A and B are shown apart, each in its own frame.
Chain A
Amino acid sequence: MHIPDGFLSPQTYLPAYALAAGGWVYAARELRRRVDETLLPRLAVLTALAFVLMTVMLPLPGGTSVHASGIGILAVIFGPWLTFAVVSLVLLLQALVLGAGGITVLPVNALAMGLGGSVAACLGYRLLAPRWERAGLFAAGWLAAVVPAALVAVVLGLQPAIAHRSDGQPLFFPFGLSVTLPAVLIPHAILGLGEGLLTVLVVSFLRRR
C-alpha cells in the first residue's frame, strides 16, 4: 500500500511534510501525556506486530500483492494519534531497512495509513461497538485497510494532473484516477476482510488477558 520514492511530485510531498510535522508534534505530546509503565510494553508489541504485518506480502490473483497493517488493532486500543506516531515509526524503518516506501513519500504514507486509516477505524468502531462489539472491530480492520488505500489511490491518481511536461507527459506516477482507484481499492477491499478478522481476533484475545 505504501507509495515508493520517485512516484510523487515535490508539490505533493512538501505540503504533506508540513501537515505531517504538525501531526507528529501533536502525537508526540499525546504520547508523552499518556505514557506509563503499562502502556509502553503493549505499544511496543503491537508496533512490532504492525511492522511484521506490513513486511509480509500476500500475493493476490492478477499479479499484484498486498499486505496487512495492524492499524485497526492499534487504533481501537490506542486511538488515532498514538497509532499515527507508531505507524510513522514503522514506515520510517521500512523505508530505511527494507526499501519499502521511502523518505520523500513518508508523510503521505504516514498521513494516509497512520492517520486516515486510524481515524476511519476509530469512527467505524465507535459507531458499531456499542451494539455489536465484534462488528465494530471487524469494521475497524476493514476501514483501516480500505480508507488508506483510497487516499493513496487519490494521491497517486492526481500526479499526472499535478506534475507534467509541457506536452502533457506525466513527470512522476503516470496513471490517472480512473486507473488507480479500481486498481488499488479492489485488492484492498478484499484484504480488508482479512484485516477485519485479524482485528477481531487480536483485540478480543488482548481483552481477555
Chain B
Amino acid sequence: MRLLLALAAALLAGTLHAHSLIHTAQPGSAVIVELRYADGSPFSYESTEVYRPAESVPFLVGRTDANGRLAFVPDRSGDWRVRAFSEDGHGGDFTIAATPDGESSAPSTGLSTIAALAVGLSVIFGIFGIWSLFVRRRS
C-alpha cells in the first residue's frame, strides 16, 4: 500500500511539474544593442533577429524595448549578425563581434550627422565646381 501511495505521489508530482518553467537569474555579460533613428529617438518595439556567427537560423527573435534596445548573451565568439525591421522599412542589418566572456565591439557607425552633412555638401559642390571649370574652359 505504501509503495502504491508513493508511486501515485511521484506520478502526481511529475504531472504537476511537467508544465512548469524553471527560471534562474544569471548575473553575466549580455550584449546590449541600442537602435535609434537619425534624430535620436529610440527604435522602439520593432522586430529584431540575432544570428550566431555563420548560421542562418535565428538565435534570437524578438522586439526592441521601449528604449530601442535588444540584448543577447553570446555563447560563442565571432561576428553576430543583428537585423532590425520596422513595418515602414526602417532598420538595419549589421554585425557585432562578440565573445561569451562579454567583450563586444560593433563597427563604427561613421561620422556624426553634422560632419556627414559637411562632407556630403563638400563633395557635391566640389564635383559641380570642378565641372564648371571644365565647361567654362571649353566655352
Contact = CB atoms under 8 A, between A and B. Distances in A.
Interface of A: 1, 3-7, 35-37, 40-41, 43-44, 47-48, 51-52, 55, 57-59, 63-65, 89-90, 93-94, 97-100, 152-153, 156, 173-175, 179-180, 183-184, 187
Please classify how large the interface on chain B is, using the bins under 10, 10 to 19, 20 to 34, 35 or more.
Answer: 35 or more
A44 B135 contact: no
Contact of A100 (B38, B94, B129, B135): B38
A184 B37 CA distance: 16
Contacts of A58: 39
11 contacts: A35-B131, A41-B128, A44-B129, A48-B124, A51-B124, A63-B45, A65-B39, A98-B38, A99-B110, A153-B89, A175-B85
A183 B90 CA distance: 11
Contacts of A48: 121, 124-125
Contacts of B124: 44, 47-48, 51, 89-90, 93
Contact of B128 (A40, A90, A99): A40
B120 interface: yes
Could you tell me the dominant secondary structure of chain B's interface residues? Answer: mixed
Interface stretch (B6-14, B19-27, B98-106, B111-119): B111-119
Interface in B77-109: 83, 85-94, 109
B31 to A, nearest CB: 19
Given A59-B37, A97-B111, A99-B110, A152 B139 contact: no
B67 interface: no
Count chain A CB atoms within 10 A of each CB in B88, B117, B125 and give the residue with the most.
B88
A141 B121 CA distance: 23
